[in-house]
Amino acid sequence: MESLYFLVPCALIFIALAVKALFWAINNGQYDNLDTEAHRILFEAEQAKKEAPAKPDSVNTPE
Give domain status of residue 60, yes or no.
no
Give domain status of residue 10, yes or no.
no
Q: Looking at the 3D structure of the chain, how many domains does it have?
A: 1
3-state secondary structure 7-60: HHHHHHHHHHHHHHHHHHHHHCCCCCCCCHHHHHHHHHHHHHHHCCCCCCCCCC
Give domain status of residue 62, yes or no.
no
Percent of the chain with pLDDT over 90: 43
pLDDT mean over 31-43: 82
Q: What pLDDT does 63 receive?
A: 56
Give domain status of residue 55, yes or no.
no
Give domain status of residue 44, yes or no.
yes
Domain coverage including residue 31:
17-48
pTM, rounded to two decimals: 0.54
> Tens digit of pLDDT for each residue in 18-35?
999 999 999 998 888 888
